[in-house]
Structure 1
Amino acid sequence: MSCFSLFFKRIGVTHQQNDPCNEDFSGTENITRFSYKELVKATAKFDQSNKIGEGGYGPVYKGTLKDGTAVAVKVLSLQSRQGKKEFLSELLAISNVSHENLVKLYGCCVEESHKILVYNYLENNSLSQTLLGSRHSSIQFNWRTRVNICIGVAKGLAYLHDVIRPHIVHRDIKASNILLDDDLTPKISDFGLAKLLPSDVSHISTRVAGTLGYLAPEYAIRGQVTRKSDVYSFGVLLVEIVSGRCNTDTRLPYEDQILLEKTWAYYDQGNLDKIIDSNLGDDLDVDEACRFLKVGLLCTKNITKRRPDMSTVLAMLRGEVDVDSQEISKPDVIRDFRDLTLRSKATSSSMLSSIVARSSSPQSSSGSGDTVTTRTSITFTAISDRP
């Protein structure tokens, strides 16, 4: 993890050299430190009028540093489902990256019980609060704007997956984690669940965490993280942006509640254009929108290895790789927690049966008479995605 140490300029900030909490955050010594007092002043004592968001991590406030810089101040609440591990993961993951489609970390505060991240402030909030939110903003999300957002997010993910070493798997790509600046340039945010993936490793097994609806089924069920897990989540997001609606809407009739299922149904019927947002205006390119939807379906394929990587996805979106020659199959979808629980139990039982069968076969017997047992345990942490 030494490559995730980056020397930041320390202009007008306090470096907390004597704070005993610093001993728990090795590897972050070269990240700019703000004092808690500075951030209290910047946010007017974390006044509710400055609150701009809330997630599983804690509240986010708009602040202004003494040099006039507008910042987003992300506070780890004491009641947060996340903790020091996620805080440290985000620090290490984002401190060494610089890309136009990723949020910029200005620094952090680690002082007594306070754990705070300071990012650049983005004027137009998240996609979940604007394009997909119940209270639509005054932003005009015409087709060209949506194209630029889709391509921008794809560029950011391709950078994390293919350029950074070790590779970074974000694990929580969703509309509320795509922020927009004043030019509506998308920025991927919230790296609290990010995992580092060395070049010689195909996957890592970990506690499952994320947002139901965006989670790749193989990750949600077996806890195996790969870059293709992010590809699945991006596919869901892509279909949301084109259609202008959330992936899951329980207010709709049962057969229409899951956007991916509805998109597949229209594709299978040859009516894919029906899922395109009806609010789009004269600049809509129907053929291009249908191509984007097909890319979304390719990203959410049931078989992990058959999903395209993010560099290929980016080329498809730009029209540099033919999409119609690709085989599109029905996406695998986990509808709800009950579906997840049943499928997780079925997978555990299947794994156990397979291991027992192999251990009892004459070819695999070691003659020792030992009994082979196994235990599969998956912990799922759901993160709210309410606008």
Structure 2
Amino acid sequence: MKCLLLTLGLALIVSYGTGTDQFTYAGFSNVNLTLDGTASIKPNGLLQLTNGMGQVKGHVFYPAPLDFQNKSANNTVQSFSATFVFGIITDGSSPSNDGMAFFIAPSMNFSDAFPAQFLGLLNPQNNGDPKNHLFAVELDTVSNVEFEDINDNHVGININSLRSNISFAPKFYDSKSGNLEDLSLSSHEPMQVWVDYDGDTNNIDVAIAPLGMAKPMYPLTTITYNLSAVLTETTYLGFSAASSNFGGTQHYVLGWSFRMGGPAPAIDIATLPQLPQIVAKSHSIFSKQSVSFIALVITIFVLTVGTIVYLVRRRFVNADLLEDWEIEFGPHRFSFKDLFQATEGFKDKHLIGRGGFGQVYKGILPTSKTEVAVKRVSHESRQGMREFIAEVVSIGRLRHRNIVQLLGYCRRKRELILVYEYMPNGSLDNYLYTTSDDRPCVGWHERFQIIKGIASGLLYLHESWEQIVIHRDIKSSNVLLDRDMNGRLGDFGLARLYNHGTDPQTTRMAGTFGYIAPELARTGKATPLTDVFAFGILLLELTCGRRPIEGRAQDTPFILVDWVSEHWHNGSLMEAMDTRLQSEYNTDEVCLSLKLGLWCSHPLPNARPNMQQVMLYLEGDLPVPEFIPMDVESKEGFDAHIIFHQSDIGTDIGTMSGLSGGR
């Protein structure tokens, strides 16, 4: 991490006689701080952490490490107090995105931290790791489901994780009325925060108030937590802020005070720099001072309009497309130039996937150095535009730890490009059916965690999000694995959304052979229960290590669900387990997975459980009832699972219906 060290003077007070470290900044002109990322100090002494751009992060550090441990008291963390004045400014065209935090950490290296909901502090791999030794007070303006945020305007106390130990809506007691008043963190007004830790009681107090009000007599929240195991001998103080795809938000610190062993010194608010003001439109545009300027502008416009039209027309040929739905949705747009540079011109050496909808490349964004997966939708795909829009609109606003995050998109001429989080371990099917030493067989513990993760993601799609999302293409190749082998559901190109309490309207069959529910083949109507069916097939696939259908060109192909059902009838269910698992498995979990797979893939939709029930069974909160599948020899039984042959369905139904043979 390249850090910019400002040494334009020193405005630091350190008391040596009592062994107490303290400092006070009323503005940051001519001070010694370490800056990183987009952080900068403005000419008026204002400390800016983010600059309004999307997907950026900024940090500022007190440059010298501090030792919080009390050597005379078994190295317990001693009392400390901090106060600071901050402001969050938006450009008015979009809501505030993500937030900022005051933190104490063992290092100034945050190069691996993610922007957006991770606030420039952590990433999906180390979030929640006790080795982080991180204490933070977050000021968050986005509600992230994966962190169980209470709302989109909250203050949280965080230990080693972005999932707050406690969080609360910012409020203060009005000294005049005595009422408890609400505060908006992104109100464009400066506010002051006080953070106090009592080394004797281990109480952490946080209070907040508008600038100019005295410190509240009582904190807004208190939590008891012994920081002795969190704060190491060498620690750094600082601030971090980050923005998501949308941008448009700037985070500022106006003043900062800290003391070890006592209350933080008061900040002289009279000398604080001013926050930038949002310039309102003038109501006197025809004043005498502006008449000349308006006349000049009109003259220039008349003289140059022809040139402008010409330039616009010439550039339109190569311009990125922008349609109404994009303006309404508005995720981050990447430039084609940046994506071209990130993938070194989409070279084959960066190709990590290829399917019916296009090619996927690994890339490194030139500015943030973030690893991404870049998906180019095929020009030859008839459904390309429609599937592209569906994927952007659906996954672009989803937030869940078991769903691959869509970071943004690009459109240029006929190019349709999506940019995702990069999943370093690729897709699940590559591990289930690999013969390479580079990809060892996935063990049972990892498989069961993947099962629970995908189930959690589907529960979010079906019941927890603002709309119901039907994925319509759940299969092993659409389950991606992150650095820790956690399962993430990806590829929402066939997804459909509809409001809670209404019925899905789609009658166009879509999916992949072997995962399609019988009723979907008959009616073409996808529902959450058709997703449950595909999840059941995925469960059997993970447990048995075999594909849903094998030998499709033969007269009697192998059908996984029928085979497992036969084992259940014969009392030999455990013989269906993947033989490569050997002895490293939990018998109860394997039986649970096989039975639940059969139940979820029941040919009758109303006989299947929903995803909330599935999660209760997987977590052991409910026992799985003895499931009796219908006779596999019956036409109403498991042989009713759809097996398509070219002679049965014609030559074009795969394209016309959105069916996929695997991507």
- TM-score normalized by the length of structure 1: 0.82
Structure 2 residue corresponding to 1:60, chosen from 353, 360, 368: 360
| Aligned counterpart, 1:213 | 514
How far the C-alpha of 1:335 sits from its partner, in A, is 2.0
Q: Secondary structure at the match of 1:129?
A: helix
Residues 1:211 and 1:229: Cα distance change in structure 2 (over 3 Å): same
Q: Secondary structure at the match of 1:21?
A: coil
Q: Secondary structure at the match of 1:146?
A: helix
| Aligned counterpart, 2:560 | 259
| Aligned counterpart, 2:616 | 315
| Aligned counterpart, 2:549 | 248
| Aligned counterpart, 2:336 | 36
| Aligned counterpart, 2:443 | 142
- Tell me if 1:130 matches 2:431: yes
Q: Secondary structure at the match of 1:109?
A: strand
Residues 1:81 and 1:260: Cα distance change in structure 2 (over 3 Å): farther
Quick check: 77-86 or 230-239, which moved more? 77-86
| Aligned counterpart, 1:337 | 645
Q: Distance in 2 between matches of 1:298 and 1:6?
A: 45
How far the C-alpha of 1:255 sits from its partner, in A, is 5.8
Q: Distance in 2 between matches of 1:339 and 1:313?
A: 37
Higher helix share: 1
Q: Which string of whole-angstrom CA distances, capped at 9 and with x for unpartnered residues, describes residues 24-55 of structure 1?
A: 54455521011111111100100001000012
Q: Which string of whole-angstrom CA distances, capped at 9 and with x for unpartnered residues, describes residues 252-303 of structure 1?
A: 9866711111011111111111110111133312232011111001111111
Q: Which string of whole-angstrom CA distances, capped at 9 and with x for unpartnered residues, describes residues 98-127 of structure 1?
A: 111000111100122211000011111001
CA contact (8 A) 1:127 1:133 kept: no
Structure 2 residue corresponding to 1:324, chosen from 625, 629, 638: 625
Quick check: 140-149 or 179-188, which moved more? 140-149
Q: Distance in 1 between matches of 2:563 and 2:329?
A: 49
- Tell me if 1:161 matches 2:462: yes
| Aligned counterpart, 1:279 | 580
Letter in 1 for 2:588: D
How far the C-alpha of 1:58 sits from its partner, in A, is 0.3
Q: Secondary structure at the match of 1:115?
A: strand
Q: Distance in 1 between matches of 2:360 and 2:411?
A: 16
> Map of 1:67-146 to 2, 5 A cutoff?
67-133=368-434, 135=436, 137-146=438-447
Letter in 2 for 1:333: H
Q: Distance in 1 between matches of 2:520 and 2:437?
A: 32
CA contact (8 A) 2:434 2:441 kept: no
Q: Distance in 2 between matches of 1:282 and 1:28?
A: 54
Q: Secondary structure at the match of 2:594?
A: helix
Query: What percentage of aligned pairs have identical amino acids?
Result: 36
CA contact (8 A) 2:512 2:659 kept: yes
Residues 1:255 and 1:289: Cα distance change in structure 2 (over 3 Å): farther
Q: Distance in 2 between matches of 1:252 and 1:128?
A: 21
Q: Secondary structure at the match of 2:420?
A: strand
Residues 1:57 and 1:338: Cα distance change in structure 2 (over 3 Å): closer
Q: Which string of whole-angstrom CA distances, capped at 9 and with x for unpartnered residues, describes residues 70-113 of structure 1?
A: 00000011012432111111011011111110001111001222
CA contact (8 A) 1:220 1:380 kept: no
Task: Give unpaired runs (5+ residues) of structure 2.
Answer: 1-94, 98-243, 249-314, 631-636
| Aligned counterpart, 1:381 | 658
- TM-score normalized by the length of structure 2: 0.49
Letter in 1 for 2:363: G
- Tell me if 1:224 matches 2:525: yes
> Map of 1:16-35 to 2, 5 A cutoff?
19=319, 21-23=321-323, 25-27=325-327, 29-35=329-335
| Aligned counterpart, 1:48 | 348
CA contact (8 A) 2:431 2:442 kept: no
> Map of 1:344-383 to 2, 5 A cutoff?
379-383=656-660
Q: Which string of whole-angstrom CA distances, capped at 9 and with x for unpartnered residues, describes residues 291-326 of structure 1?
A: 111100111111111110011111112222221344
Q: Distance in 2 between matches of 1:57 and 1:73?
A: 13
Q: Distance in 1 between matches of 2:641 and 2:555?
A: 14
Q: Secondary structure at the match of 1:225?
A: coil
Q: Distance in 1 between matches of 2:382 and 2:622?
A: 41
Residues 1:97 and 1:153: Cα distance change in structure 2 (over 3 Å): same
| Aligned counterpart, 1:347 | none
CA contact (8 A) 1:204 1:226 kept: no
How far the C-alpha of 1:201 sits from its partner, in A, is 2.0
Letter in 1 for 2:643: R
How far the C-alpha of 1:135 sits from its partner, in A, is 4.6
CA contact (8 A) 1:142 1:281 kept: no
Q: Secondary structure at the match of 2:488?
A: strand
Q: Distance in 1 between matches of 2:468 and 2:393?
A: 13
Q: Distance in 2 between matches of 1:154 and 1:92?
A: 22
Task: Give unpaired runs (5+ residues) of structure 1.
Answer: 343-377
CA contact (8 A) 2:377 2:416 kept: yes
- The CA RMSD over aligned residues, in Å, is 2.6
CA contact (8 A) 1:175 1:237 kept: yes
Residues 1:251 and 1:90: Cα distance change in structure 2 (over 3 Å): closer
CA contact (8 A) 1:56 1:81 kept: no
Q: Secondary structure at the match of 1:80?
A: coil
Q: Which string of whole-angstrom CA distances, capped at 9 and with x for unpartnered residues, describes residues 159-183 of structure 1?
A: 1001012110000000000000110
How far the C-alpha of 1:383 sits from its partner, in A, is 1.2
Residues 1:191 and 1:254: Cα distance change in structure 2 (over 3 Å): same
Q: Distance in 2 between matches of 1:183 and 1:20?
A: 37
Task: Figure out how many residues of one structure are paired with residues of the other and give that number.
Answer: 343
Structure 2 residue corresponding to 1:190, chosen from 488, 491, 497: 491
Q: Secondary structure at the match of 1:205?
A: coil
Q: Distance in 2 between matches of 1:126 and 1:281?
A: 23
Q: Secondary structure at the match of 1:335?
A: coil
Residues 1:385 and 1:141: Cα distance change in structure 2 (over 3 Å): same
Q: Distance in 2 between matches of 1:206 and 1:135?
A: 41
CA contact (8 A) 1:221 1:340 kept: no
CA contact (8 A) 1:220 1:340 kept: no
CA contact (8 A) 1:143 1:281 kept: no
Residues 1:302 and 1:273: Cα distance change in structure 2 (over 3 Å): same
Higher strand share: 2
| Aligned counterpart, 2:67 | none
